[in-house]
Structure formats: structure tokens, C-alpha cells
Structure 1
Amino acid sequence: MYFHLQRLINPIEQDEPDPAAANALQEGLGGQFGEMRTMMQYLFQSINFRGPEGKPYKDLIQGIGTEEIGHVELIGTTIARLLDGSPAYQGKPTDPIDQPGAGGAVPLNIALDHSNIHHYLVGAQGALPVDAAGNPWSGSYVYNSGNLVLDLLYNLMLESTGRLQKCRLYEMTDNKTARSTIAYLIVRDQAHENAYAKALETLGVNWRGTLPIPKTNAEQFPEVKRLVDLGLQSKQYSFDLDNQSEAGRIFQGLSPSGDGTELDASEQAPEGAPLEIAPERREEFSPGADEELMALIQATAEMEMADIDATFGRMS
């Protein structure tokens, strides 16, 4: 089972909206080497895992896959914040539903030449399951061979390529909102590289000769350096409420990165950061609930709660 703690896995800095940066970040979400890919690949590998004696490897893959769910939430929320707000719209929540375009106004004209138009046309200023070119995410990206060494090699390559692309994304924008998330993902990608590299070493695989990791020198980015100085590249979380994970039997000892740090799998999860729900976007008619509709929603909710109370007893 999976549980959701209503906190973001990392804080998102505040800055001005930047729809072009939002579109670039879509590659890190729905691209071939993005967070949706890593989430699905690792979860499917752990679900399909065979061999009880290999439980530490299953736990390692599953823990990283669970973290990737939080990464999808983080980068998706970042994209939405970069899109949030239309410069030409100065409306108020009390305005009538058709007020945004009244009098010939075109509050969403920014969508025509600054971004992926689908962010405004389809997504109501929110993230989409697509890459930066607008191609839908595909399940065919997922690699799950059933062979542990092959899967670990492929995962190491996936994390390395993802980190390389995020370094490029960092260089594309100076927006603080975008960079705060990109920097965090760069460092966590390195942590996952360390995890898969260490797992391969325990299986006798000389991965350094087989798959050299690209040098990005990402520590030159100040946001990345701050996180590396905290040792975030050498931590791995279990996300295991029952403390049954054996991933720590693998994720220990000196880091494969060669930075002199010790690998640490002692923490269940990061502390996280407050998760706030974004305001309505009246110019998008989203959610577009007028007083009559809100009253209907409330009445329906009350009927559903009454039905639950009648069936299961009153919830405390």
C-alpha cells in the first residue's frame, strides 16, 4: 500500500510566472528520461521482482520508485506555478463567470507565443503528461527485463541521462521557481545513481568500465552545491512505514561517486515542505463553480457522508 503525506518532497522557491520554462520542464516530467518514466519503471520492476533472497534489491528499487512519485508531484506542481497567472487578466473571484473575456479582452493571448499552447488550452495552466515537444508520455519507455543486473544497469543509465538533461534545463532558465526544483532533482538523481551503482558492485559488476557516468560538474550551480554540502546525494529513503526495508544492506559504505561521503539509508523520508493548493484561475473558467453549483456540490457531499455514516458508523 502507499500513503500520501500532504507535503511537497522539497520546497519550491517563489518567482514570476515563466511559461517557457514550464514547457522546458515538461521534458523532465513526461520525457523519455523524465520523472514519470523513473516512477513507472522502478515500481513495475519492484512489483514484478522474483526471488525472496533478493529482497534487499527489491526494497532498494521500490524505495526509489516511491520517491519518484514525490518527484512527479514536485515537478508537476512547479510547472503549474510557472504557468500560474495571465498577465492581461485582472479579475476577482467575485466576477461573473464570463468576465475574463468580456469587452473583447484576450487574457490568455500569452499562450499563443510563449509556451506550449496545451498548457492553457487543455491543462488550465497546469502540468501535462507530455514531453517538451508535446508528445504524450508512453508506457513503452518502461524497461523491465526481469533480469536484476540488466535492470540495474538500465536504471543507472536512466538516472545518469536524467541528471544530464536536468543540468541542461538548469542552464536554460534563471527562474528561481524552476531552478529550485531542477537543482533538487539533479542531486537526487545522483543519489539514485549511487544506489544503483552500489547495487551493481555488490553483484560483482564493474560498472565503471561498463558504463562511465557523464561528468556534469553540477556542483558549480549554487542551488546544487548547497544540497550537496548537506550530503543529499548520499542519502536514500525507505518510505517504509513498517521498517521492513532491507535496502540499507546495499546502500552503505563509501559513495560510488568518489566524493568521500558515506552512504546513509537510515531515514524513512525527507521532512518535506508545505503543500498549498493553487488559487482559482477565473480566466480559465477553472474550477468555474458558481454559487448554485457550489450548493449542489455541498448537498451531494452531505448525502455521501450520511450514507457512509449509515453504513460504517459515524466517523470520529
Structure 2
Amino acid sequence: MYFHVQSLIHDIAQDEPDPAAANALQEGLGGQFGEMRTMMQYLFQAMNFRGPAAKPYRDLIQGIGTEEISHVELIGTTISRLLDGSPRYQGKVTDPVDKPGAGGAIPLELALSKGNIHHYLVGAQGALPVDAVGNPWSGSYVYNSGNLVLDLLYNLMLESTGRLQKCRIYEMTENKTARSTISYLIVRDQAHENGYAKALETLGVNWKTLLPIPKTNAEKFPEVKKLLDLGLHSKQYTFDLATQSEAGKIYQGLSPSNDGSTLLADEQAPVGVPSVIAPERLEEFSPGLDPELMELIQATADLEMAEVDASYGPVTGK
């Protein structure tokens, strides 16, 4: 059972729209080694897990899988913001949809030459469940052998490859919106590398100097260094409202990254940042609310704002 908090797990910096960067980020969302893959793979492994004696391993996989849901939300929202409007198009949302902008630009002109045209034709300036060349995400990506050691090895490979790709995407764009999310995912992928590596350590693996993969100089990526200084690469959350997770039995001790840090799993979840809904895009006819629909939405909102009884019970923090 999952609960949703209307906050993003990490703040997204503001910058100009950049459809090319948005398309590169599609690989980190819907590619073979993207966030949709990690989310689905870990959740299926957790759902199919067998062996009560190995519960700490199941809890570790499940906790990381739950965090990956928030990563899908984060990277998808980032893609939407990178597509939200046209750079240097100075038209106003109240203008007629066919009115030229600065220099004679038209609202969706860049869709013909930048990024993925489906972001504009199909997605109304929003993220899609595809990779950077438009291939649909496939459930065949999910690896769930049922063998604990094999699954942990595969998960470590998945986190390492995803981290490698995100380091490459970071080098492709200077856009602050893109880099703020990419940097966070680079650091959290390392935290997940550490989690799966530590689990394999308990099963006899000695990593020595192999991790992290890839080896990067934190000073080279200033946004990454800021997050490393906060220790986010050596921390894992439980996302467990009932405080029953035993993942902390594994996620502890010296980091397998051999950076002198200590692994911590003593937090339920990060605080997050407020989640803000983007304004309408009239040039996309989205969402296209007329006065009658607005009245209906307001009436529905009034009902939903009524006090809701908590059916789950009080949250007990650690």
C-alpha cells in the first residue's frame, strides 16, 4: 500500500525551456536503464520476494523501489518544465494562439527542429513513457529471477548504468532545470549502489576499490558536490509508515564506495519541496477549460477540501 504526499522529493531549479535537454532526459525516464525501469523492477522483486528469513533484503529492495516512484515523478515533472513554453517566445497566454511572438516566432515552431516532436504533438509539452529516440518503455526490461544474489547483482548493474548515463546527460546541457534533477539522481543512484553493494557484502562479496561506478570527481559537478556534502549518497529512506522495515540491518556500516562515509537508514522519508501545478498552455489547447468546466472543478474542489478522517492512524516517526 502506498501513500502520496503532494511534494516533490527534490527542488527543480528554474531556467529557460529546453526541448533538446527534455528529450535527453527521456532516456533517464523511459530508457532501458531509466527510472521507470528501476521502479518497476524493484517493486516486482519485492512483490515476488520469498523467504521470511531474508526480510531485511526485501525491505531494502522495497524501500528503494518506493523511492523510485518519486524519481519517476521528479524526472517526469522536470521534462514537463523543460517543455513548458518556447524559449525566447514572448507571446502571452492571453494572446490569440496564432499571434507571432518576438522576431515573428510562433509558439510551437521549435517542435520541428528540437528534441522529440511527440512532446508537442502527443504529450502537450509533457513527459512520455519512451526513451530518447521515442521507443516505448517495455515491461521486458524488468529482471526478477527470484534468486536473491542474481537480483542484487542485476540491481547494482542497473543503478550503476543509470548513474553513468545521467553523468553523460549532465555533460550534454547547461540548463539549470535539467542539471538540478540530474545531479540529485546521480547522488541518489550512488546511495542505491551502496545499498545493493552492502547487501552483497553481507553475502560474501568484497568490493575493494571497485565502487562507485562511474568514478566521478564531485568537484567537477558543483550541484553534485553540494548534495554529496549533505551525505545523500550514504543515506537510504524506509518510506515505511508503520516503522516495520528491517532494511537498516543491511544499510549500515562503512560505505562500499570507500569514501569514509557511514551508511544511514534512520529516516522515514525526506521532507521534499512543494509540488506546483504548471499553468495552462493555450497554444497546446491544454487543458482547455471553459467557464462551465471551471465551475464544476471549483464545486468538486470545495467537496474535496472537506475534512477527511485519517483511516490509517497516526504516523510514528523514528
Distance in 1 between residues matched to 2:191 and 2:57, nearest whole Å: 16
CA distance in 1, matches of 2:120, 2:296: 27
> For 1:100, what is the secondary structure of its paired residue?
coil
Give, in whole Å, the separation in 1 of the partners of 2:214 and 2:156.
Answer: 14
Pick closer, same or farther for the CA change 1:266–1:109 going to 2, 3 Å: same
Whole-angstrom distance in 2 between the partners of 1:237 and 1:170:
25
Q: Equivalent residue for 1:168?
A: 168
> Could you tell me which residue of structure 2 aligns to residue 122 of structure 1?
122
Residue 215 of structure 1 corresponds to which residue in structure 2? 214
The one-letter code matched in structure 2 to 1:192 is H
CA distance in 2, matches of 1:297, 1:190: 42
Q: Judge which range, 266-275 or 216-225, deviates more.
A: 216-225
Amino acid at match of 1:267: E
The match for 1:90 is: 91
Paired-residue identity, %: 75
Does residue 61 of structure 2 align to residue 64 of structure 1? Answer: no
Distance 1:268 1:6 in 2: 16
Matches within 5 A, 1:104-123: 106-123=106-123
Alignment correspondent of 2:41: 41
The separation in 1 between residues aligned to 2:36 and 2:74, in whole angstroms, is 11
Give 1:11-26 correspondences, 5 Å limit: 11-26=11-26
Q: Which moved more, 1:149-158 or 1:106-115?
A: 106-115
What letter matches 1:46 in structure 2? A
1:136-195 deviations in Å (ceiling 9; x for gaps): 100000000000000000000000000000000000001111001000000000000000
8 A Cα contact 1:91 1:100, kept in partner:
no
**Could you tell me how far 1:91 is from its partner in structure 2?**
3.3
Question: Which structure has the highest helix share of the two?
Answer: 1
Paired letter, 1:90: G
**CA offsets 1:39-58 (integer angstroms, 9 cap, x no match):** 00000000000011010000
* One-letter amino acid of the structure 2 residue matched with residue 222 of structure 1: P
Report the CA distance shift for 1:88/1:221 in structure 2 as closer, same or farther (over 3 A). Answer: closer
Contact map agreement 2:111 2:117 (CA 8 A) in 1: yes
Are 1:200 and 1:207, in contact at CA under 8 Å, matched by a contact in 2?
no
Quote the offset at 1:230 in angstroms. 1.3
The TM-score normalised by the length of structure 1 is 0.90
SS of 1:203's equivalent in the other structure is coil
Q: Any stretches of 5+ residues in structure 1 without a counterpart?
A: none
Aligned to 2:315: none
Contact 2:207 2:256 in 1 (8 A): no
Unaligned runs of 5+ in 2: 310-318
Cα gap change, 1:315 to 1:269, in 2 (>3 Å): closer
Please state whether the residue corresponding to 2:133 is helix, strand or coil: coil
Measured at CA, do residues 141 and 208 of structure 1 come closer, stay the same or move farther in structure 2, by a change above 3 Å? farther
User: Which residue number corresponds to residue 100 of structure 1?
Assistant: 97
Count of residues in correspondence between the two structures: 303
Tell whether the 8 Å contact from 1:89 to 1:100 is kept in structure 2 after alignment: no
Q: Which residue identity does 1:28 align to in structure 2?
A: G
Per the alignment, do residues 315 and 184 of structure 1 end up closer, same or farther by CA in structure 2, a change over 3 Å counting?
A: closer
Alignment of 1:45-56 (within 5 A): 45-56=45-56
Match of 2:228 in 1: 228
Conservation of the 8 A alpha-carbon contact between 2:237 and 2:266: yes
> How far apart are 1:101 and its partner, in Å?
2.5
Aligned-pair distance for 1:238? 0.1
Q: 1:155 to 1:208 in 2, by over 3 A?
A: farther
How much does 1:274 deviate?
1.2
What is the Cα deviation at residue 267 of structure 1? Answer: 0.6
Q: Quick one: which amino acid aligns to residue 98 of structure 2? A: G
Distance verdict in 2 for CA 1:315–1:162, change over 3 Å: closer
